Chains A and B, each alone.
Chain A
């Protein structure tokens, strides 16, 4: 059998739309793994003030003695920032390609099977990006602290002070709804994008992604709601 003699050059993987999706999936996975750790760490608020504040201190000591104080924490932050930048850059890049491909819109549109999480990735992702900035301004930089005094390092007191206000709780709950939807479609998509999905495994992967989304939602939301109803003081 002869093969094509002059194979034209093809672009490297990361230049193809599929390769870009793989980078989105990989960066999404990095963020997701970090989010799982973040959620589990937050649950320590439920123990007591000392446990939670010492957890925040533990993060700064993480990796010692191999890494100096807070270096490992900074390493995580750098990796996470890179993941966010890659994820958002490619989300914009791919979305622009996708919009260009359908310039004339249908007069009538109908969805046959597409579920809500799948079609809200763009707007939900944008909402999450805004939320991440708000969240950092809220608890990391301490720029937004309505009705209480923000004290750097007094993580427990800041959290309780913050979520004594119902409208801040509402913002966090809404953001976690967006997060749960993004995690559901995103987690399933990781398998699909890397070619690890098949008819046989699809249902199990979808259900597991759904279970993960629910666990993440409940775990994250428990803290603001717990403070609001007075279970955490």
Chain B
């Protein structure tokens, strides 16, 4: 994770010193075009909403909260969207804002995107993640259970539960620890899938495989994990990688394309090893 990613607790961390985050509050008059869809089987459509008087201090989700309060007062159905921590760590939020997953600011989740990155009079298109394996539940909420299915296929280590093992019992080299941590930073938000022209989950799967392959705890199941997770993402209907790189560009945790190359290498390695053990 780079030092510039804004993932701290709002209000606890001092405001970063960049020019657009100063104390001056402005009010913006915005126009939203939001995807409304009653349920997973229903037809959806873009609906236009006027959103006047939005503070530049609000986060994108707080802006939607305000719009929703107004809708509720008018007796209308509020816009459904996913969120939980609102501090960039849980991976629940995620909107495609003007065609970009998580919006215009790099390395930032939707909940951490602030309205100061927009200007008065802006027209903002808000859509859900769109991918076959992510069916819409309602409006902007999609079912990302497919990512859980990939994890269930092998994105874990099988260890007896009980008291935690002594931390220093399995020494990890600094470089390996850094590599594992960089990849473990993936919060499973699914922006990579949303941004990929092929709705591929390669960056997500690659982050998990890279994370565990770098650590001693991940070794016993290393080959099987790779084979099983790759098979799972294929069978769930995600697309394949065409090395375009939009995933890494929108990833709020800056998982790099390098991780996909590593997953490819791991798959090659696992396949060769399996071939050898079969012949034995």
Residues in B with CB closer than 8 Å to A193 are 243, 264
Shortest CB distance A87–B (Å) = 14
Most central of A2, A12, A104 by chain B CB within 10 Å: A104
B132 within 8 A of A: yes
Contact A97 B243 (CB under 8 A): no
- Bound Cα distance A195, B268 (Å): 8
Residue with the greatest number of chain B CB neighbours at <10 A, chosen from A2, A108, A189: A108
> How near does chain A come to B161, taking the closest CB pair, in angstroms?
11
B199 within 8 A of A: yes
- In the complex, chain B residues 20-34 whose Cβ is within 8 Å of any chain A Cβ: 33
Contacts of A99 in B (CB 8 A): 239
Contact of B140 with A by CB under 8 A: no
B46 lies within 8 A of A107 (CB): yes
Decide yes or no whether B151 CB sits under 8 A from chain A.
Answer: no
Secondary structure of the A side of the interface? Answer: loop
B249 touches A112 (CB 8 A): yes
CA distance A179 to B100 in the complex (A): 30
Most interface-central of A11, A16, A22, A102 (chain B CB within 10 A): A102
List chain B residues, Cβ under 8 A from A105.
130
Q: CB within 8 A of A199: which of B198, B241, B258?
A: B258
Residue B125 at the chain A interface, CB threshold 8 Å: yes
What band does the interface of chain A fall in when counting residues whose beta carbon is under 8 Å from B? 35 or more
A8: nearest chain-B partner, CB-CB:
B228
B residues 222-275 touching A (CB-CB < 8 Å) = 224, 227-228, 230-231, 233-234, 237-246, 249-250, 256-258, 260-268, 271
Asked whether any CB of chain B lies closer than 8 Å to the CB of A33, the reply is no
A8 CB contacts on chain B under 8 angstroms: 228
- Segment 52-105 of A: residues with Cβ below 8 Å from B: 94, 97-105
CB-nearest residue of chain B to A110 = B99
Chain A positions 1-54 with a Cβ under 8 Å from a chain B Cβ: 1-4, 7-8, 10-13, 16-22
Secondary structure dominating the interface of B: mixed
Asked if B132 contacts A109 (CB within 8 A), the reply is: no
One of A113-121, A143-151, A165-173, A214-222 at the interface: A113-121
What A residues does B139 contact at CB under 8 A? none
B242 neighbours in A (Cβ, 8 Å): 94, 98, 118, 121
CB-CB under 8 A for A3 and B220, given A101-B200, A113-B249:
yes
Q: Is A192 on the interface with B (CB-CB < 8 A)?
A: yes
Q: A108 vs B100: C-alpha distance in the bound complex, in angstroms?
A: 9
Say yes or no: A16 contacts B257, CB within 8 Å.
no
Question: Which B positions have Cβ atoms within 8 angstroms of A?
Answer: 33, 35, 46, 96, 98-100, 125, 127, 130-133, 154, 157-160, 195, 197-200, 217, 220-221, 224, 227-228, 230-231, 233-234, 237-246, 249-250, 256-258, 260-268, 271
